[in-house]
Amino acid sequence: PSREDPRSATRFDLVEGVICTGGTFHMDSIEFMEHKRLPYVIVGRRDWKNLNPHYCAPDYVSGYQAATSYLLTMGHRRIALCGGKSWFEADADKRLGYLRAFEANGLMPDMDLILMDEPGKEKMRDTERFLLEQRPTAVITLGDEVWNMTKSALRKGKLSVPGDLSVVCFGLSDGMQMMGESRGYAPLTRIDVPVFEMGRQSAQMLISLLDGEEPRERGRFLPLDFIEGESCTPPGKEAN
């Protein structure tokens, strides 16, 4: 919706406040709500150019730093980061968390083990070849598609999880998780967004705005959920 679209004005006049998912709302929508002085809260995305909206976002930096440190403490050094778009705010945060884990442990990451789409270059489609050529001892994947390509690399290379490759998955659907376990894969170690809690706190912020109260903080970061499965072991160690 935009200021110039009368249908948007009609629709927004029917509500008192809006909770926006940052990944799908556009800049003109935010500008329109600012223009109408309509209370709103962003879920996820924080970068809105010159605007400073209220937001509730996952703490990707700390979450990915913790997941990478988890693998580093097991002895892994060749840890691949697969998935995402380098220019997308959330994925840039994940990459930063990954790099900070190496820095905090006094180690240098192998930058060749980061596989993300670049502007004009769709690199994620090469995940299977990338894993077989680079042969990391551990990988952090993003989403169902990247996990599917990882499984394809495992089959082609006759590799096992976690004996040959330790795996941490982010953003994996429940269906994909169940399908993997039904086909003999170890229960995966995962990083998940606390969706329910993020929605609850976003609603709390919006209610405060509707009551004329300014929330204590303009933005909130929520820690990611870390679910330890059986897909990670020290490098070179077979699973029990």
What's the pLDDT tens digit per position in 4-13?
554 455 466 6
Looking at residue 238, what is its pLDDT?
56
In tens, the pLDDT along 201-239 reads 999 999 999 999 988 888 899 999 999 999 999 997 654
Let me know: does 161 contact 131? Beta carbons within 8 Å.
no
The region, left, alpha or beta by phi > 0 then psi within -120 to 50, assigned to residue 91 is: alpha
When the pLDDT of each residue in the chain is averaged and rounded to a whole number, the result is: 86
Q: Please state the φ and ψ torsions of residue 52, each to the nearest 5 degrees.
A: -130, 70
Q: Copy the structure tokens of residue 13.
A: 């006049």
Which pLDDT score is estimated for 240? 40
Query: How many C-beta atoms lie closer than 10 Å to residue 64's C-beta?
Result: 26
CA-CA distance, 226 to 189, in Å (whole number)? 8
CA dihedral sign, ordered 31, 33, 36, 41: negative
Instruction: Tell whether the model's pLDDT for residue 132 goes beyond 90.
Output: yes
